[in-house]
Structure 1
């Protein structure tokens, strides 16, 4: 057990400070400001300039947990030069806007409000023409928030498929490969609706590797995946008999080339499309690294591409922490180990939790009895699974403290019930909506003895 309660609370506070520094670095309004400016009637996006006197109407559309905050930054730059605007965000993530309508919908499982909002967005884009500019604001969560079922598919079918994919341990790359082939907006299909207008996307990445075709299912990016890929994933995760028959039939017909594929790299529909990634987990890690150094820790960024089952990742992170604690390697104490990415959870129980809390609970068991070592795993969007927490803290005293009040950590882990475990322990991290989303951040602090 840790030497003192004050050691635990001090490290807990320090981890929260380092996490918040990472969040600030990927604040969506700051990210937009770094890429978007208006000078001499030229809209500059990165190194590209768009002379507004040659552009007809300016449309601002978007989807994702950060889209409303991104839209507020766009309004600050363009103001009343915006002719039409609509963004779709998660419930509770809206902000007041003057020129752009905000609609809210469900995440991670789509709902009817998402269908209505996406239909309104597609109707708006369909009014654009070759002289117009469509500025698209995309962030994580955009897939669930833009349900536009392919012909013959109902919302209930998409909901069922989404829930099955979320619970089977599939990565976001795999989940979105399926989503793209059940949609009229994903996989680059949004660009097909723009009637030749110039399309510029500002993208906040929430996927490992920052793949344009995966972030929010790549609404404005070429799609290298195919119906055959999607069908193979359904079969690999043994979901073919579980998904609605109409979905299985659509994927099969698509794989047989009876249905048109999503637009691929080189398709002329992308001739006037530019995509800019304006923020990612890398910026969050760099800021966290800097903050840790300021606080007296020796920081080490392990990776920005962490993935795999949450419980397995916990074992690896804790193994590194123990190495630091015992041998002062690969970095000397006081140390701050940092990683980012997105783990998965294969559901076996019926409890309440998310991948970060699952990772933290597994870490608590790995760290049992290890002194002055603490882990925080949390989602940068402020939400872990279907809960109100971003993640949780765990340290070498967590298991002992739990057992002292009659709580069995292994039972909660087996039931995927990490939320209620940490809620009872008082070790949840609750931030509320951060209105950003660049995957998850793990912070492991190993203090001096």
Structure 2
């Protein structure tokens, strides 16, 4: 297992390096003789009076560092908000911090600073917006009649109910002055360029960070429908219910004129990381295949799917024959029933441990690319065909830990937790399977 862990860690880190925030920004953005190029789009900086930088997310400080290196003293002012532990000191862009996934007063203060700059921008100004995973929680700007506590409660209820990120953001957009195109509205009539590192399956700009500079295709009715689906209407505050019934809080839609001078660019996503892991594993002699970067749904269903692919590869050589590296990416959901400690990647690992028990030559790492899984310091966990046997010797019963959502304390005594610390980026989760 020791050698397999080393290989799995190397592959994971190769994927993380591919989505490093500063590198991703510099791959997609070039500045030469006052001409700014972002992919195929050109901007003449002589046309702008001021250049402002705003944004939020776990990769915000790394992205902001690259922007400083590219623009230097051309930056008029900037503020970004990142998660505690991800901060770094920059010269021209202020880096503030807040809590994720449930927002706090640090994020609230940061959101006010971001909005202040956005509202300051005029028609002859350029606003560079940096968005990455975690931005939704890190930019809480409640609409009138809704408090920070209200938003905290709504977020906690949705997360514990097993709502997927798209559903959570559908509600949050309609309770915010920033989300769902609100930030673009605040910036108008300035020119807005948004660089996005996606942590969302499918990399839809309107979903990533709750789409602060994107038109919102969802409605107030959609948000209410989500609360109904998870039986939460009687658990949220009256202020939240009033806000979701007020037409004033409807988000700007496609074709709204506020988006005429706004462009969104995806500069890294889950597939970016998976492609690099595939390349790295092939250089090690493995046949490699990416099954999907769109893994979603309940973690139990995901574990069944992953296990079936592994077993098929072992028995028939499809979709790839051993020795092979089989890759999955995305973001599953966990319905929290117990009071244990864990996260979706650790829970997925534990479920897979049950399904590959006694299979020789199968080694798996499930991990979040941000380095933090759930409310733990672990990014995820390692499993192989011996995991349950080793657990049994220590008196650890997997079904008990699954019932309590306590996967962290299952893997900790086995020394199979994968701990990296904050990676400074976030493109959702990866599952790396080595089959010999």
Match in the other structure for 1:245:
238
Select 1:68's aligned residue among 47, 53, 61: 61
Select 1:336's aligned residue among 325, 328, 339: 325
Match in the other structure for 1:223:
216
Select 1:388's aligned residue among 348, 355, 377: 377
Give the Cα separation in 1 of the matches to 2:102 and 2:224: 20
Match in the other structure for 1:199:
192
Match in the other structure for 2:22:
29
Match in the other structure for 1:5:
none
Match in the other structure for 1:292:
281
TM-score (norm 2): 0.98
Match in the other structure for 2:391:
402
How far off is 1:189 after superposition?
0.7
Unaligned runs of 5+ in 1: 1-7
How far off is 1:245 after superposition?
2.3
Match in the other structure for 1:4:
none
How far off is 1:327 after superposition?
2.6
Contact 2:188 2:258 in 1 (8 A): no
How far off is 1:331 after superposition?
1.1
How far off is 1:388 after superposition?
0.7
Give the Cα separation in 2 of the matches to 1:345 and 1:245: 27
Select 2:345's aligned residue among 346, 353, 356: 356
Q: Deviations over 1:270-299 (max 9, x none)?
A: 010010000111111110101111111111
Select 1:303's aligned residue among 279, 282, 292: 292
Give the Cα separation in 1 of the matches to 2:300 and 2:424: 27
How far off is 1:260 after superposition?
4.3
Give the Cα separation in 2 of the matches to 1:260 and 1:125: 19
Runs (4 or more) in structure 1 with deviation over 3 Å come to: none
Unaligned runs of 5+ in 2: none
Q: Is 1:91 the equivalent of 2:80?
A: no
Q: Is 1:423 the equivalent of 2:412?
A: yes
Give the Cα separation in 2 of the matches to 1:424 and 1:239: 37
Q: Deviations over 1:139-193 (max 9, x none)?
A: 0100000000010001110000000111111111111000000000000011111
CA RMSD for the aligned pairs?
Answer: 1.0
Match in the other structure for 1:122:
115
TM-score (norm 1): 0.96
Select 2:135's aligned residue among 132, 142, 146: 142
How far off is 1:96 after superposition?
2.2
Which has the higher mean CA deviation after the structures are superposed, 167-176 or 100-109?
167-176
Give the Cα separation in 2 of the matches to 1:123 and 1:131: 17
Give the Cα separation in 2 of the matches to 1:234 and 1:354: 23
Give the Cα separation in 2 of the matches to 1:103 and 1:304: 31
Q: Is 1:184 the equivalent of 2:194?
A: no
How far off is 1:325 after superposition?
2.0
Give the Cα separation in 1 of the matches to 2:300 and 2:22: 34
